[in-house]
Amino acid sequence: MHDTMFSYRLIFLLLFMASIVTWVFLWLAGYFPGRHSTQLHGVKADTMTALALALVLACAVLDYARLLERNLLLALLLCVGLLFPWGAFFIHKVCTSVRRRLLSSHH
């Protein structure tokens, strides 16, 4: 195995594991918006998590079958596994903080 293939496999494994852990952690901790507000929103958060995990697993299958270029799979895994969930988490936290400040300034 060439050094570049070994480094690619190592980076892919790192991104794959980080993606799985991120989605499961955020789902279990209930950090997705609206998870506890109503039953309908809870289903949406669960469905979104299942879809994201399926996409992460699909990246692993595509890598195993070598159907897509390596760099494209790494970028897809990085976006689906890390950028989307943490971006949504931070946007939700900022919106909640702004909303809280607006409400406290009106009282």
CB-based contact 70:53 (threshold 8 Å): no
Neighbours of 106 (CB within 10 A): 6
The counts of H helices and E strands in the chain are: 4, 0
Is pTM beyond 0.85? Reply is: no
Task: Read off the pLDDT of residues 22-77 as tens digits, 9 standing for 90 and up.
Answer: 999 998 988 775 544 445 455 677 888 899 999 999 999 999 888 888 889 999 99
Backbone φ and ψ for 40, nearest 5 degrees, come out as: -65, -45
C-alpha torsion sign, points 45, 47, 51, 56: positive
Q: What ranges do the domains of the chain cover?
A: 3-106
